Each structure stands twice: as structure tokens, then as C-alpha cells.
Amino acid sequence: MARHLDPATRDALVERVRFYRDLGLSEFYRRPVDEALLAAETAEGAPEERAATQLAEVQSAKSQAALSLEDQPISARKPFPAPPQIAAGVPAGDRAAALKMIREEIGDCTRCALHKGRNKLVFADGDPNARLMFVGEGPGADEDAQGLPFVGRAGQLLNNMIAAMGLKREEVYIANVVKCRPPGNRTPEPEEANTCSPFLFRQIDVVRPQVLVALGATAATYLLGHRQPLAGLRGRVHAFRGMQLIVTYHPAYLLRDPRQKKEAWADLQMAMKELGLKKAASTAGPE
């Protein structure tokens, strides 16, 4: 079966099978398909060019994860202002237009230093009426090139996480704390994050998802206003602007340390419970 798949589809399927296997979901795909895909990957190997690209993506993700707030001492983090007041709700039919207005207001933004190195401003992606929203840290190289959030290797992992929840990427809303790529994928400076995040808060207030998932310590810090290690924020549901907020690892961090995927899956299951989503009957779930 794998011989008839184009390379991109095969790579995506192999990656997804590996992700489910890391989660402990052993029965999500039929076993013969898993083995055929993984065997094909092993036997044929990835073409050199694709392997080089994947390596660069992994290195980029690693560098982003290495520079993330998880690795910084709490004392090194500077204070941030209180989040803006909660805006009035927007009727479901008007949300797309309301988001468009925010995008237009941002314009060709030069409000912080990050504009200097950006290629494309990354506003958001997904359904303006989503019940589930993900917030990450900021665009990486792929996102900066395409103008969309989470489209690189970390994005593929996020797509797999969303699919494991029984949802499609188009059914959720995805945004970042900052909308322009920090140089070298470094963590946004507090001044940059504090300048940009009011737009994120406005997006959140418009979409008003039932559940918001903060991906990584930077998103959690600037959303919750808690200078706290990720370990102290995970594992519970936070009240946030009339919504429920759950904190989990950034996909780039999970690429660096795949052992934490099961922990991330536990966080996502918490989100699924809040949303009333059931695990697929065919999934075994993590042990």
C-alpha cells in the first residue's frame, strides 16, 4: 500500500503513526497499514533532500525549544502588564468580520522591533467560531515564509495532536503571542510580547472558544500573567476570561523530548473532557 503513496503523504502518515505510537495509541490505525508504512520508510529511507530539510526543521525546532521560557530562570523574566479588559461578545455570524478588522488594524505593523526581520506577519489560522483554540509563542521560519501559524515540523505535530482529539485543523483556531518571527527563533522579549499580545487577547475575545490551550511556557505566561514554571500550570483547568484554559507543552519542545508526548496527551484529554469529546472507540489510549 505504501508504494502507491506520494512521498509527502507517506511522510505525513508515518509521522502520524509514530505520534500515535508515542502516545500509546496502538489501535488507531489498522496494524498492517502501520507496519507497511514504517517498513517502507525504513527500507527506502527518505530522499537526501527531504532528509536534509527534515534535519533543518528538527534543528530549528530544537533551537526554538532550547531558547524557550522553560529553560530560563524565573528571576530572568521581566514583569508584564495586566491583560486588557474582556471585550463584549461578538455574535457568531460576525466573528470572521471582527477578526478581519483586527487584522486590518494591525496592518503592516512596526509597533515592535520584530517587524524588522519578518517576511510575513502571521495573524492566525482556523475557524472564527472554533470551540477550541491553541496559542503558541511566535512564528518560526516556515510560518514566517507562509504567513500561517504552525506549518513546519512542530505544526505537523500539532496537526497530529488535533487529529488525535478527533478534530480537524480547520475546526480549531490557532494563533501566537507575537505575530512576527523573533530572530533566530529566540523567545520574544517581554516588550515585544507585551506590545503584540493585546491583539491576541482581542482575537481570543472575538472567537471566545470554550477551551483555550496554551502551548508552552511563553503562551501560558502571557495569557495567565503567572510567572510560574510549566509544571505548576499543567494538569488543571484555569479560569480565563470566562473560558477554560489548559496548559501543555509546545510541540517544538515535544520534538526535542518525545517522552513528554504522553503528558501532553493527558493535557489534551483534559481539554477533550471539557469539550465533551469522546475518545475514538478504536483507540486504546495511553497506559
The distance between the two most distant Cα atoms of the chain, rounded to a whole number of Å, is 57
Q: How far is the CB of 179 from ligand SF4 (least distance, A)?
A: 4
How far, in Å, are 46, 107, 137, 253 from residue 64 at the CA level? Answer: 24, 27, 10, 8
Q: How far is the CB of 148 from ligand SF4 (least distance, A)?
A: 15
Question: Interface residues for ligand SF4 in 185-214 (CB under 6 A)?
Answer: 192, 195-196
Check residue 13 for interaction with ligand SF4 (CB under 6 A): no
Alpha-carbon dihedral sign for residues 52, 55, 59, 65: positive
Of 13, 37, 164, 180, the residue at the interface with ligand SF4 (CB under 6 A) is: 180
Residue 36 to residue 41: CA distance in whole angstroms: 9
All residues at 6 or more sequence positions from 139 whose CB lies less than 8 Å from its CB, including other chains: 118, 122, 149, 176, 178, 179, 180, 181
Of 16, 131, 179, 261, the residue at the interface with ligand SF4 (CB under 6 A) is: 179
Which of these segments, 76-84, 87-95, 177-185, 266-274, binds ligand SF4 (CB under 6 A)? 177-185
**Closer to ligand SF4 by Cβ: residue 190 or 258:** 190
Which of these segments, 9-17, 80-88, 173-181, 274-282, binds ligand SF4 (CB under 6 A)? 173-181
Which of these segments, 71-79, 112-120, 206-214, 252-260, binds ligand SF4 (CB under 6 A)? 112-120
Q: How far is the CB of 194 from ligand SF4 (least distance, A)?
A: 9
Q: How far is the CB of 143 from ligand SF4 (least distance, A)?
A: 12
Cell 478504536 belongs to: 282
In DSSP terms, which residues pair with 248 in a beta bridge? 215
All residues at 6 or more sequence positions from 236 whose CB lies less than 8 Å from its CB, including other chains: none
Check residue 238 for interaction with ligand SF4 (CB under 6 A): no
How far, in Å, are 21, 41, 47, 174, 216 from residue 135 at the CA level? Answer: 25, 32, 33, 6, 9
Check residue 109 for interaction with ligand SF4 (CB under 6 A): yes
**Closer to ligand SF4 by Cβ: residue 162 or 215:** 215
All residues at 6 or more sequence positions from 19 whose CB lies less than 8 Å from its CB, including other chains: 157, 160, 161, 164, 261
**Which helix H or strand E contains 32, and what residues bound it?**
helix 31-44
Site string for ligand SF4, 118-157 (x = CB under 6 A): ---x------------------------------------
All residues at 6 or more sequence positions from 184 whose CB lies less than 8 Å from its CB, including other chains: 63, 67
The residue ranges that bind ligand SF4 (CB under 6 A) are 106, 109-112, 114-115, 121, 178-180, 192, 195-196
